[in-house]
């Protein structure tokens, strides 16, 4: 302990001497990474490799799976491997970018890995988190969609899904008529056509935008939708583009087929990406907290995704505590219930992680337009185009908008093409991206810190005469999240927590319901092992044995999600 203190003091001293950084991100990082830009899947992989090379005792890289398009889905595991068995520490899972166009989730996730690694041994709370917890970070679980968004012509909303062909228009042909980048600028923007009978006119305040005419007013334009052609000659434009399903509707809990839930695909985990991530998650039963990063709207979403599902009572309290803390840490973000405050989602990831795996999980919708002028936004569906145009004009010097220009369209004739660029509107501008990374990471680390932290009090040994003793042990949880959530207990997802006694012979065993009045639930079966439902959040659980024997004994608490702790005692 003393040695560690000296080491920490030395580290602090040396760091202090050279510390030219602002507080927050580490100065003099071992791995320099710019957090004002996006990285494609290959670059993300290279950054993970750099981190792994720079911090060998604190990292492991995992191949989670391979996407439809053949891209690697990779995870970085972050913990102090020298301290404890990593697989038995409470685990925290983070992923991002399940929707390909919602790119910044990957940067937030990777920032978290970088921050933890660079600050190990420097920031005491980080050191403790990495000594006692393990983080599984998967920056992007949709690399095909990500790379398509970053490299191919798209708008801010594509490519949401993946690249497996799907027949959206039911004509028996697959992906035969998607958008077309007619002006070749790498963005899919809008098409409009001058028409005195059109019902749209130039916005007098933001002349690059169109607004609807008054009822008694002559118009200027028709809006013709997104840039594109009738590629298959069926009389429709852009009706069946690449993919056409939604990976975040492909998870088992409350999965419903596409006629109920658009984008659900064929059955839960029918997509290789979701299946690989599901397996990665199930292979790590120690995961006790999770976070998924989407965009956008500034939301901290919790399950359920549909109104008939019920979050267990005790778990609602945990969610509320964490969610309200998140609202403080993420100004402009609101803590919301998915189906009630946003929309119904059948078969969403966050629902499976909670209902299917019993893990308290949030989905954060990153980036809020409240950040543009630090003013409130009127709900998830507010029309903010004028604010965006003003922000673009004043702060991005009109760099986020492709100005209208003429184009000869084979079907529509003389049209104009223009509109917001794909990387504006749902993703922050460069100078706010780092803020988004840090604030969301801080919220997630607060959540991770609230995973169960178990200990055992020293055993209370009482003689009953005739060489018999009663041994009572109390297990404690110093954090908000119980060792098994209410959902885990109700659905029997993980096995019960087990308390075992070694070194003496147990003759009878029970769970103490009331210490003062000796109320005990007898444990069926062999008495050396007691199974309890959970150690509650910020709470305790007491068990007792009647034993025979003398000398040292050991009591072990083994919790799948809360880890293993031991205490020793002595029978006189």
Kindly state whether residue 172 participates in binding another protein, applying the rule CB under 8 A: yes
Q: Pick from 101, 104, 127, 494: which binds another protein (CB under 8 A)?
A: 494
| Region near another protein per CB under 8 A, out of 221-229, 364-372, 375-383, 493-501 | 493-501
Q: Which residues pair with 509 in a beta bridge?
A: 545
Q: 507-523 burial string, b = 16+ CB within 10 Å, else e?
A: eebbbbeeeeeeebeeb
User: Could you give the C-alpha distances from 382 to 300, 334, 375, 377, 386, in angstroms and in order?
Assistant: 18, 15, 13, 7, 11
Query: Which residue lies nearer to another protein by CB, 476 or 484?
Result: 484
Q: Pick from 235, 379, 413, 465: which binds another protein (CB under 8 A)?
A: 235
Scan for tokens 């949880």, then name that residue.
Answer: 477
User: Could you give the C-alpha distances from 497 to 360, 450, 457, 483, 487, in angstroms and in order?
Assistant: 18, 18, 16, 8, 15
> Which of 362, 375, 350, 354 is CA-nearest to residue 326?
362
Kindly state whether residue 253 participates in binding another protein, applying the rule CB under 8 A: yes
Q: How far apart are CA 369 and CA 422, in angstroms?
A: 16
Q: How far apart are CB 141 and another protein at their closest, in Å?
A: 17
Q: How far apart are CA 494 and CA 492, in angstroms?
A: 6
Q: How far apart are CA 494 and CA 471, in angstroms?
A: 27
Query: Which residue lies nearer to another protein by CB, 122 or 531?
Result: 531
Kindly state whether residue 355 participates in binding another protein, applying the rule CB under 8 A: yes
Q: Residue 313, class by beta-carbon neighbours within 10 Å (0-12 exposed, 13-18 middle, 19+ buried)?
A: exposed
318 and 122 in contact (C-beta within 8 Å)? no
**What x-and-dash track marks residues 101-120 binding another protein by CB under 8 A?**
--------------------
Q: Pick from 256, 430, 500, 556: which binds another protein (CB under 8 A)?
A: 256
Kindly state whether residue 485 participates in binding another protein, applying the rule CB under 8 A: no
Contacts of 534 (CB under 8 A, 6+ apart): 482, 483, 484, 485, 488, 489, 496, 497, 541
Q: How far is CA 306 from the centre of its chain?
A: 19
| Region near another protein per CB under 8 A, out of 104-112, 257-265, 394-402, 432-440 | 257-265
Gyration radius (Cα) of the chain, Å = 28
Q: How far apart are CB 181 and another protein at their closest, in Å?
A: 26
Task: Indicate the SS3 state at residue 140.
Answer: coil
**What x-and-dash track marks residues 120-139 binding another protein by CB under 8 A?**
--------------------
DSSP secondary structure code for residue 88 in this structure: G
Q: Which two tokens stand for residue 39?
A: 């990285």
Kindly state whether residue 255 participates in binding another protein, applying the rule CB under 8 A: yes
- Strand 360-366 to strand 287-295: parallel, antiparallel, or no bridges (unpaired)? parallel
Query: Which residue lies nearer to another protein by CB, 361 or 371?
Result: 361
| Region near another protein per CB under 8 A, out of 21-29, 105-113, 250-258, 456-464 | 250-258
Query: Which residue lies nearer to another protein by CB, 79 or 312?
Result: 312
Query: Which residue lies nearer to another protein by CB, 16 or 525?
Result: 525
| Region near another protein per CB under 8 A, out of 128-136, 139-147, 233-241, 456-464 | 233-241
Query: Which residue lies nearer to another protein by CB, 402 or 493?
Result: 493
Kindly state whether residue 175 participates in binding another protein, applying the rule CB under 8 A: no
How many binding residues for another protein (CB under 8 A)? 38
Q: Pick from 233, 317, 331, 467: which binds another protein (CB under 8 A)?
A: 233
Q: How far is CA 389 from the centre of its chain?
A: 30
63 and 72 in contact (C-beta within 8 Å)? yes
Query: Which residue lies nearer to another protein by CB, 419 or 527?
Result: 527
Query: Which residue lies nearer to another protein by CB, 119 or 253?
Result: 253
Q: How far apart are CA 358 and CA 192, in angstroms?
A: 50
Q: Which two tokens stand for residue 250?
A: 């492909």
Hey, how many other C-beta atoms are within 10 angstroms of the C-beta on 447?
24
Q: Pick from 3, 197, 374, 526: which binds another protein (CB under 8 A)?
A: 526
Residues numbered 545 to 564 that lie near another protein (CB under 8 A) are 560
Query: Which residue lies nearer to another protein by CB, 142 or 250?
Result: 250
Q: How is the beta sheet containing 497-502 ordered, strand by strand?
A: 529-532, 497-502, 551-559, 563-571
| Region near another protein per CB under 8 A, out of 115-123, 412-420, 502-510, 524-532 | 524-532
Q: How far apart are CB 567 and another protein at their closest, in Å?
A: 22
Length of the chain: 572
User: Could you give the C-alpha distances from 20 to 11, 118, 406, 431, 435, in angstroms and in order?
Assistant: 15, 15, 51, 20, 19
Contacts of 295 (CB under 8 A, 6+ apart): 99, 102, 103, 104, 105, 365, 366, 367, 426, 427
| Region near another protein per CB under 8 A, out of 28-36, 47-55, 465-473, 486-494 | 486-494
DSSP secondary structure code for residue 154 in this structure: B
Kindly state whether residue 496 participates in binding another protein, applying the rule CB under 8 A: yes
Query: Which residue lies nearer to another protein by CB, 481 or 509?
Result: 509
Q: Which two tokens stand for residue 395?
A: 């702060």
| Region near another protein per CB under 8 A, out of 43-51, 290-298, 415-423, 523-531 | 523-531
Q: How far apart are CB 242 and another protein at their closest, in Å?
A: 19
Residues numbered 264 to 323 that lie near another protein (CB under 8 A) are 266-270, 278, 282
| Region near another protein per CB under 8 A, out of 314-322, 402-410, 436-444, 490-498 | 490-498
Tell me whether the omega of the peptide bond preceding residue 296 falls within 30 degrees of 0, making it cis.
yes
| Region near another protein per CB under 8 A, out of 348-356, 363-371, 430-438, 511-519 | 348-356
Kindly state whether residue 259 participates in binding another protein, applying the rule CB under 8 A: yes
Query: Which residue lies nearer to another protein by CB, 269 or 319?
Result: 269
Q: How far apart are CB 250 and another protein at their closest, in Å?
A: 11
286 and 327 in contact (C-beta within 8 Å)? no
Kindly state whether residue 410 participates in binding another protein, applying the rule CB under 8 A: no
Q: How far apart are CB 344 and another protein at their closest, in Å?
A: 8
The footprint of another protein (CB under 8 A) covers 170-172, 233-235, 252-253, 255-261, 266-270, 278, 282, 352, 355-356, 491-496, 498, 523-526, 531, 560
């Amino acid at each position: 302990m003393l040695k560690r203190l000296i080491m920490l003091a030395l580290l602090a001293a040396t760091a202090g001497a050279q510390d030219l950084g602002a507080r927050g991100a580490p100065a003099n990082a071992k791995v320099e990474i710019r957090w004002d830009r996006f990285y494609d899947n290959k670059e993300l992989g290279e950054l993970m490799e750099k981190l792994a090379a720079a911090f060998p005792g604190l990292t492991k890289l995992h191949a989670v799976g391979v996407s439809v398009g053949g891209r690697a889905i990779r995870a970085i595991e972050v913990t102090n491997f020298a301290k404890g068995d990593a697989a038995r520490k409470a685990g925290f899972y983070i992923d991002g970018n399940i929707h390909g166009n919602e790119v910044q989730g990957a940067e937030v996730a990777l920032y978290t890995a970088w921050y933890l690694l660079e600050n190990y041994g420097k920031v005491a709370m980080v050191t403790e988190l990495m000594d006692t917890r393990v983080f599984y970070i998967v920056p992007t679980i949709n690399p095909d969609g990500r790379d398509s968004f970053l490299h191919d012509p798209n708008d801010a909303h594509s490519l949401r899904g993946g690249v497996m062909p799907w027949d959206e228009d039911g004509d028996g042909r697959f992906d035969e008529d998607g958008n077309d980048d007619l002006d070749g600028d790498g963005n899919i923007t809008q098409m409009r056509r001058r028409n005195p009978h059109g019902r749209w006119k130039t916005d007098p305040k933001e002349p690059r935008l169109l607004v609807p005419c008054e009822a008694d007013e002559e118009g200027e334009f028709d809006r013709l939708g997104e840039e594109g052609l009738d590629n298959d000659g069926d009389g429709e434009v852009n009706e069946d583009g690449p993919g056409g399903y939604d990976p975040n509707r492909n998870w088992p809990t409350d999965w419903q087929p596409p006629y109920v839930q658009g984008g659900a695909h064929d059955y839960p985990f029918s997509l290789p990406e979701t299946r690989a991530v599901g397996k990665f998650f199930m292979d790590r039963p120690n995961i006790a907290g999770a976070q998924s990063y989407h965009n956008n709207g500034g939301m901290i979403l919790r399950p359920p995704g549909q109104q008939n599902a019920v979050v267990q009572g005790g778990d609602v309290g945990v969610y509320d505590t964490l969610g309200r803390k998140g609202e403080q840490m993420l100004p402009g973000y609101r803590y919301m219930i998915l189906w009630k405050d946003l929309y119904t989602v059948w078969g969403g990831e966050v629902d499976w992680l909670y209902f299917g795996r019993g893990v308290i999980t949030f989905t954060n919708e990153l980036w809020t337009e409240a950040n543009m002028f630090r003013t409130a936004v009127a709900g998830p569906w507010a029309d903010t185009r004028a604010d965006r145009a003003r922000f673009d004009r004043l702060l991005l010097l009109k760099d986020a908008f492709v100005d209208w220009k003429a184009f000869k369209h084979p079907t529509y004739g003389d049209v104009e093409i223009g509109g917001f660029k794909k990387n504006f509107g749902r993703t922050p501008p460069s100078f706010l991206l780092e803020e988004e990374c840090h604030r969301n990471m801080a919220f997630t680390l607060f959540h991770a810190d609230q995973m169960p932290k178990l200990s055992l009090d020293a055993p209370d040994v009482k003689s009953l005469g005739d060489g018999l003793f009663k041994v009572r042990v109390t297990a404690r949880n110093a954090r908000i999240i119980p060792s098994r959530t209410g959902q885990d207990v109700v659905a029997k997802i993980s096995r019960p927590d087990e308390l075992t006694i070694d070194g003496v012979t147990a003759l009878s065993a029970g769970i103490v319901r009331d210490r003062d009045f000796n109320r005990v639930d007898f444990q069926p079966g062999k008495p050396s092992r007691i199974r309890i439902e959970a150690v509650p959040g910020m709470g305790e659980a007491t068990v007792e044995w009647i034993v025979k024997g003398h000398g040292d004994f050991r009591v072990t608490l083994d919790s799948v999600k809360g880890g293993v702790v031991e205490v020793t005692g002595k029978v006189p």
